[in-house]
């Protein structure tokens, strides 16, 4: 089992809808979880961090963490074409003491 898994997509969502991105991880004791956005040809940009179970909202973005199910998700409300990018889930693996990235989900928002 991969340490961090994401559906590579592509995921297509109509403009104005909610985009839902999912990520699972294998290390039960992980405490730190991050979502990055990467536009084509650019470097990853941190958009959300979450450390506790439940939801964390920042503008149109909501991160959801369920440690019991080892699952973290990112919801994007009122999706815009500018949200089209690859979204990377990253989990700090306590045992290995390093941040491990998923392969990323490519999201396309259709006008």
Partner 1 sequence: ETGVTQTPRHLVMGMTNKKSLKCEQHLGHNAMYWYKQSAKKPLELMFVYNFKEQTENNSVPSRFSPECPNSSHLFLHLHTLQPEDSALYLCASSQDIAGEQFFGPGTRLTVL
Q: Should residue 92 be labelled a site residue for partner 1 when binding is judged by CB under 8 A? A: yes
Nearer to partner 1 by C-beta: 29 or 111?
29
Using the minimum distance from each CB to partner 1, give the nearer residue, 45 or 58: 45
Q: How far apart are CA 103 and CA 23, in angstroms?
A: 10
* 44 near partner 1, judged by CB under 8 A: yes
| Residue numbers 16-35 binding partner 1 by CB under 8 A | 31-32, 34
Cβ nearer to partner 1, comparing 36 with 79? 36
Phi and psi torsions of 81, nearest 5°: -55, -30
At residue 11, the 3 state secondary structure works out as strand
The span from the CA of 29 to the CA of 7, in Å, is 22
Q: How far is CA 103 from CA 23, 45, 111, in A?
A: 10, 15, 26
Q: Which of 7, 22, 26, 103 binds partner 1 (CB under 8 A)?
A: 103
| Closest approach of partner 1 to the CB of residue 78, in Å | 25
Dmax over CA atoms of the chain, in Å, equals 43
- Interacting residues with partner 1 (CB under 8 A): 31-32, 34, 36, 42-46, 49, 88, 90, 92, 97-104
């Amino acid at each position: 089992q991969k340490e961090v898994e994401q559906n590579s997509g592509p995921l297509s969502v109509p403009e104005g809808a909610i985009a839902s991105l999912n990520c699972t991880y294998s290390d039960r004791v992980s405490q730190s979880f991050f979502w990055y956005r990467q536009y084509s040809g650019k470097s990853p940009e941190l958009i959300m961090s979450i450390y506790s179970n439940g939801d964390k909202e920042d503008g149109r973005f909501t991160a959801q963490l369920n440690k019991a199910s080892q699952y973290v998700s990112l919801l994007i409300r009122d999706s815009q074409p500018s949200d089209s990018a690859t979204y990377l889930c990253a989990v700090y693996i306590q045992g290995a003491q390093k941040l491990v990235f998923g392969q990323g989900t490519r999201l396309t928002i259709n006008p």
